[in-house]
A and B are shown apart, each in its own frame.
Chain A
Amino acid sequence: MITAISGLPGSGKTEWIRKQIAQKQEEAVYFSPQTASFPIDDLRLQSRESKVRVFFTGGIEELSKFAQTGGEVYLELPWHLDLLASESLLQKLNCHRVAIISSPEDCFEWQSWADEIVFNYRPGIDQWLSRLEKHQLKIQQALLRGEVLDFASLETFWQELIEGAYGEVFRAKGIFDLAQGECIYGEFSCGLPLQEFESLQLPLNLNGRPERFSGLEIIGDNLDQEAIADTLGDCCLSDEAIFYYQQQIKQSLSSQEEEIG
C-alpha cells in the first residue's frame, strides 16, 4: 500500500511515518517529492529507523512495484508542494491519504482530500496558520555540504535564531557536521518544548571535509538572510582546524583500541 501524508510544517508528518514503520516487522519505503536536494527529513528518518529504505529521487514506478509486492510505501508531501498539482500522481498511485492536523477546526479544510485524518495537537501551529495562509511566511534553506561547524558556536547561533535575533522563526530544522566527526540533527517548532540536538547514526567523518548532505531550513517572517548566512559562516571551521580536530579524534580512537586490545 502507498500512503500519502500531508499537513502543515511542524505538524509531525515524518514522526507519524516513523511510528508506523516502527510498529511493523517489514521493511518500508519512504519518499518525499521535491526534497532530493535538501533531504533533512529523509536522512533523519533513515538514521532513526533501520527498517526504512529512503528513495531520494522520484522513481514512481519503483514505488508502485514495491507496493504491489505487499510492501509499505510512505509518500510525505512537503507543505509547500501544491496538492492540486500532485493530484493526478496520487490518483495514479491509488494512495491512501492521511492528513495530520493540529485542531479539529482544520478538519473541514482537509476532509475533501484525506481518507484519514490524524489529530496531533501542536499549540504553535495555530499561532502562525493565518500568516501561512496570507503567504507572509518564507522558507529559507542554507546548504552546508562540506562545512564543519564548531558545536559551541552552533548552540549560540541556534539559541539566537529561535529567540528571534534574525527574524521571526516558526520552524527550523537542520543537519550539521561537527568537528568531532559526527553529524547532528536540530529541530525547533514554535510552541513546542525545545529539543536537544540529536546525534545521527552516520559514520564519523574524519577525512577532510564531509561530502554528505548537511543544511538548515527555516520557516519564518522577516528573516535576515544575510545575517543568518554570515553567522553560520562564522561557526564554520577552517581546513587547518578541521585537520587538527580530525587528527586528535583519530589519535584518541587509536589509543582506545590499543587499550581494549
Chain B
Amino acid sequence: MKIAVMSCLHGNMAALEAVLEDISKNNCAEIYCLGDLVGYGPFPNEVVETIRELNIPTVQGCWDEDIVEGLNACECSYPSLLAEKRGKLAHEWTNQQIKAKNREYLAELPETLKVNNLCFVHGSPQSNHEYLLPEINAFTALERVLSVDADVLFCGHTHVPYVRNLESGQLTIKVNLSQDNHQISESFSTPLKRIINVGSVGEPRHGRPNATYVIYDTDTGAVQLQEIAYDYQKTAKALLEKGLPPIFAWRLIKGWEYAEKAEDPTHVCER
C-alpha cells in the first residue's frame, strides 16, 4: 500500500493544492500530515480547513502548538535575533488571523501518531521543536526511533527531506557497582530502523521553491521523494498583499525558507 506523508505546510495554499493533486495522481491509499499547518504563510485558515475537511490524520507541529499555547520556544527555535524577530512577527500575524474553530482543531492534534510499525511526529518523539537533522549522531537518532517502538519514524520540521537508515544498531549498557567494583554489561542489537524526513510543502529550504513530500510503500519499504513545482508567485503575491514582510516572499522564491533554522545538529531541545 502506498501512503503519502507531508509536513510543514505553513499556510501555503497553492503548494498544498499542487501536492494533493500529485498525491491523487499517484493513487496513494492514505495521507498523513506532520503538522505546521500555519505560520509565515498567507493562508493559515484555508490550509487548516482543507486538512480538516479531507480528514487527513495530522500531528501537531511547533507552529500549531505555539498558536494554541502562545510562544514558549527554547533557543533551538530561533537561531538568531533576526529569525526571532521575524518569527514573532509571523506568529502575531497568524495569531490574529486564525479563526477560533481552526485554533480548536490545532489544539486537539496529537503530538504523535502510531500506525503499526510506523510513527509520525513533527520534530522528534521528544518534542515537536526538536530538529532531527541528518547529521545528528547515530545514538541519538536510534534512541528517538526506539523510544516510540517503531521501525520507521516519519518527521519534518527541518524542511530538508532525507532518508536515514540505522542499520545493525548495537547498543551496549555497562553499569558499575560501586561496592565491589563489579561491572554488569549487557548488549543487544536492533534491526533496521529508518528516519524519513519528508521535507516541506509550503516552506522549502532546498534552494528551489518546489514543494516536497514523500510516498512510502508499506509493503516494500520503498521511499519516493516527490518534488512538486507549483505557482509560488501566487503565494509570494499573497504574502505582500496581506502585509507580511516582503523578505518572506523573497526567501520563498529562493527556496530558502522564510527564516533560517538552527544549524547545530547536536543540539537537543531542552524545552
| A206: interface (CB < 8 Å) | no
Q: Report the nearest B residue to A236, measured CB to CB.
A: B81
Q: Is the CB of A156 within 8 A of B250?
A: no
What is the minimal beta-carbon distance from B90 to any residue of chain A, in angstroms?
13
Q: Which residues of B contact A (CB under 8 A)?
A: 79-83, 85-86, 246-247, 250-251, 254, 260
Q: Which residues on the B side are within 8 Å of A155 (C-beta)? A: 80
Instruction: Give CA–CA (A161, B85) in the complex, Å.
Output: 18
| A34: interface (CB < 8 Å) | no
Size of A's binding interface in residues, CB under 8 A: 14
| A217: interface (CB < 8 Å) | no
| A231: interface (CB < 8 Å) | yes
Q: Which residues on the A side are within 8 Å of B85 (C-beta)? A: 234
Q: Report the nearest A residue to B85, measured CB to CB.
A: A234
Q: Digit string of A101-132 for contact with B (CB within 8 Å is 1, else 0)?
A: 00000000000000000000000000000000
Q: Specify which of A152, A157, A227, A231 lies most central, judged by the most chain B CB atoms within 10 Å of its CB.
A: A152
What is the minimal beta-carbon distance from B92 to any residue of chain A, in angstroms?
15
Of residues 220 to 237 in A, which have CB atoms within 8 Å of B's CB atoms? 227, 231, 234-235, 237
A-B contact count (CB 8 A): 38
Q: Which residues on the B side are within 8 Å of A239 (C-beta)? A: none
| A247: interface (CB < 8 Å) | no
Q: Which residues of A contact B (CB under 8 A)?
A: 150, 152-153, 155-157, 160, 163, 165, 227, 231, 234-235, 237
Q: Which of B82, B246, B247 contacts A153 (CB 8 A)?
A: B82
Q: Is the CB of B81 within 8 A of A237?
A: yes
Q: Is the CB of A152 within 8 A of B247?
A: no
Q: Is the CB of B254 within 8 A of A156?
A: no
By Cβ-Cβ distance, the 9 closest A-B pairs, closest first, are: A152-B80, A153-B82, A150-B81, A153-B80, A153-B81, A234-B85, A165-B250, A234-B82, A156-B82
Instruction: Give CA–CA (A250, B86) in the complex, Å.
Output: 31
Q: Which residues on the A side are within 8 Å of B81 (C-beta)? A: 150, 152-153, 234-235, 237
Q: Report the nearest B residue to A153, measured CB to CB.
A: B82
Q: Which residues on the A side are within 8 Å of B246 (C-beta)? A: 227
Q: Is the CB of A150 within 8 A of B80?
A: yes
Q: Report the nearest A residue to B86, measured CB to CB.
A: A234
Instruction: Give CA–CA (A174, B79) in the complex, Å.
Output: 23
Q: Is the CB of B83 within 8 A of A153?
A: yes
Q: Is the CB of A163 within 8 A of B260?
A: no
What is the minimal beta-carbon distance from A241 to any residue of chain B, in angstroms?
8
Could you show 9 A-B contacts with beta carbons less than 8 Å apart? Answer: A150-B80, A152-B260, A153-B81, A153-B83, A156-B260, A157-B82, A165-B247, A231-B247, A235-B80
Instruction: Give CA–CA (A129, B201) in the complex, Å.
Output: 42
Q: Which residues on the A side are within 8 Å of B247 (C-beta)? A: 160, 165, 227, 231
Instruction: Give CA–CA (A155, B82) in the complex, Å.
Output: 10
| Besides A156-B80, A163-B254, A231-B247, 7 other A-B contacts (C-beta < 8 A) | A152-B80, A152-B81, A152-B83, A153-B80, A156-B83, A160-B251, A231-B82
Q: Specify which of B79, B82, B250 lies most central, judged by the most chain A CB atoms within 10 Å of its CB.
A: B82
What is the minimal beta-carbon distance from B178 to any residue of chain A, in angstroms?
30
What is the minimal beta-carbon distance from A154 to any residue of chain B, in angstroms?
8
Instruction: Give CA–CA (A150, B80) in the complex, Å.
Output: 7
Instruction: Give CA–CA (A105, B86) in the complex, Å.
Output: 47
Instruction: Give CA–CA (A152, B82) in the complex, Å.
Output: 8
Q: Which residues on the B side are within 8 Å of A152 (C-beta)? A: 79-83, 260
What is the minimal beta-carbon distance from A244 to any residue of chain B, in angstroms?
13
Q: Which residues on the B side are within 8 Å of A157 (C-beta)? A: 82
Q: Report the nearest A residue to B246, measured CB to CB.
A: A227
Instruction: Give CA–CA (A234, B81) in the complex, Å.
Output: 7
Q: Report the nearest A residue to B262, measured CB to CB.
A: A152
Instruction: Give CA–CA (A234, B250) in the complex, Å.
Output: 18
What is the minimal beta-carbon distance from B74 to any residue of chain A, in angstroms?
16
Q: Is the CB of A150 within 8 A of B82?
A: yes
Q: Report the nearest A residue to B79, measured CB to CB.
A: A152
Q: Report the nearest A residue to B78, measured CB to CB.
A: A152
What is the minimal beta-carbon distance from B10 to any residue of chain A, in angstroms?
18
Q: Which residues on the B side are within 8 Å of A235 (C-beta)? A: 80-82
What is the minimal beta-carbon distance from A155 to any residue of chain B, in angstroms?
8
Instruction: Give CA–CA (A227, B81) in the complex, Å.
Output: 16
Q: Which residues on the A side are within 8 Å of B254 (C-beta)? A: 163
Q: Which residues on the A side are within 8 Å of B86 (C-beta)? A: 234
Instruction: Give CA–CA (A156, B83) in the complex, Å.
Output: 9
Instruction: Give CA–CA (A157, B251) in the complex, Å.
Output: 12
What is the minimal beta-carbon distance from A117 to any residue of chain B, in angstroms?
40
Q: Which residues on the B side are within 8 Å of A234 (C-beta)? A: 81-82, 85-86
